[in-house]
Amino acid sequence: MGFDLQKKDFDKDFVWGVSSAAYQVEGAHDIHDKGPSIWDSFVESKKNVFNGHDGKIACDFFYRYEEDILLMKQMNIDNFRFSLSWTRILPQGYGKISQEGVDYYNKVIDFCLECDITPWITLYHWDLPQALEEKGGWTNRDIIGWFEEYVKLCAKRFGDRVKHWMILNEPMVFTGAGYFLGVHAPGKKGLKNFIPAVHHASLCQALGGRTIRSLIPDAMVGTTFSCSQITPYSKKSKDLLAAKKADALLNRLFIEPVLGLGYPMDELRILRRLDEYHRPDDEKNLLFDFDFIGIQNYTREVVRHSYTTPYLKAKIVKATKRNVRTTLMDWEVHPPSIYEMISKFNQYTAIKKLIITENGAAFKDVVSNKEVHDPLRKSYLQSYLDQVYKAKKDGLKVDGYFVWTFTDNFEWAEGYFPRFGLVYVDFETQQRIVKSSGKWYSRFLNNGVSL
């Protein structure tokens, strides 16, 4: 079936853009007085990341931001979601301010605006200052004060021009992968780290929203959540229960407290350990009425009962074992998942706006005659967009769509192996090549007209 949609088929105020993150693209890891982040430290152990890759140079966006933003403009992209590096602004996480770091982000913001591109800033996209991690990081309740200082500074320095803000990026991932499984920075493991990290991240999420709103009254304030459609492996009661638990952990853990629904402790009894970290007023301080919620969907997960899996008694059945189409991340290509997640979040009636703040795919890209032909990525984006449009037509709330990502970049523990970009990056020369998927997205944003 062909792809017939055009941008004009969506509402006039539907938001289109691309997303990125500081550590994944900026490079310039130790320029001026920038302090190390947990990812700067994590990559030092070469065993933590595919082939020992690191983000020291990445896409060199620190020096090439004008080139990349001009390319966005050329490609009809008028909304750019990017994150701020906490340690580029506050090298130790609090206290001394780096004027060079502040000046850098002022230049990026100003150049976006000069190019008629709206900046959407993510305040925290996983690169916690290492100096704060040495004090316990997200497991230390003091992070509430550290985070508030950082957010206030960003609001005061950039809020006169930036009106679109996202507080946290995927708290389930940075707490789960970083503080329970140990496969992401800072590499901590176990419930003793995960449980307090969850609670403190939830408190910071709401506090960040209140702080931005108090200092930038006309701001549009959101936060973002990873989410995956959860399908039980069979209709057996144990598999159904396993899927329910996985859904509570992966899709409900961070959205429900902010809406006043509390943590999903009924499905996940292990979360009752959160009670020991609760203090008076925490329940109230978990709440914030966000202007929008960002959801980030790539795939679905099939879940079955697993007696040997501690706490959850559930495990994911890998896509590669299910004989389904997959991306380079071994994620199933399952377009209905994005419809299902839009539908699921629409059930939270308190959500005002819902924006797809990330969706995309990694496939093997080959440069041939100075071009990159990537029909699988183009097909992926089109099939997921079809589902977004279907949700819109069915009367579900969905107000924007951001592709992950603009350029190929450093993909965390997977290094530079999986390429998600609309634009190919030769990491040896830093040459950019707009892929065929990027050319398609550009035409789509221009209602079918080529550049």
Catalytic annotation, residues? 170, 358
Tell me the Cα Rg of the chain. 21
Tokens of 406: 């603009």
Tokens of 108: 């990026």
Fill in the amino acid letter for 233: Y
Phi, psi of 68 (to 5 degrees): -70, -40
Rounded Cα gap, residues 215 and 203, in angstroms: 18
Of 28, 42, 209, 24, the C-alpha closest to 101 is: 28
H/E run at residue 120 = strand 118-124
Pairing type for strands 220-226 and 400-404 reads: unpaired
Cβ(206)–Cβ(285) under 8 Å? Answer: yes
- The SS3 assignment for 80 reads strand
Q: Which residue has the tokens 């910071």?
A: 204
Tokens of 263: 């943590």
Cis preceding linkage at 186, omega within 30 = yes
